[in-house]
Amino acid sequence: MATAKKAPAKTAPAAKKAPATKAAAPAKKRTPNAAFMKALTPSPALAAVVGSAPLPRTEIISKLWVYIKANNLQDATNKRNINADAKLKELFGKPQVSMFELAGLIGKHVK
């Protein structure tokens, strides 16, 4: 009758040390892209939703989402879709858009 051999006990590998010559580099703070921070003038159709003051793209999208949430315009079954009301239909040109199309459609309404 053959008996099973026991495997030798495994020892934990020694922890590797980082070379002493390399110091941990401090994390660089991300700088915003100047193109996104440039104030743009909205078209009259967009101004009806976000206001007529020049705003950066990031603020325009933020204000647009505030409007969408306040008027409950997200599709109930698929939250990625936005149902257009009268003001947004003028911007989008169709009754429903995906949230991924939003920035592209807004680009046509800013200078």
Domains annotated on the chain, with CATH: 46-107 (1.10.245.10)
Cβ atoms 91, 109 nearer than 8 A: yes
Q: Is the pLDDT of residue 20 over 70?
A: no
- The tokens describing 58, both together, are 């990031």
Give the Cα separation of 64 and 55 in Å (integer): 12
Residues 6+ apart with CB under 8 A from 88: 49, 67, 68, 73, 82
- The pLDDT assigned to 34 comes to 78
**Phi-psi region at 105: left, alpha or beta (left = phi > 0; alpha = psi -120 to 50):** alpha
Place of tokens 């580099």: 25
Quick one: pLDDT at residue 16? 61
* pLDDT > 70: percent of the chain: 80
Give me the pLDDT at residue 30, please.
80
**pLDDT for residue 14 is more than 90:** no
Report the alpha-carbon distance of residue 19 to residue 12 in Å, rounded.
Answer: 21
Residue 39 has pLDDT above 80, yes or no: yes
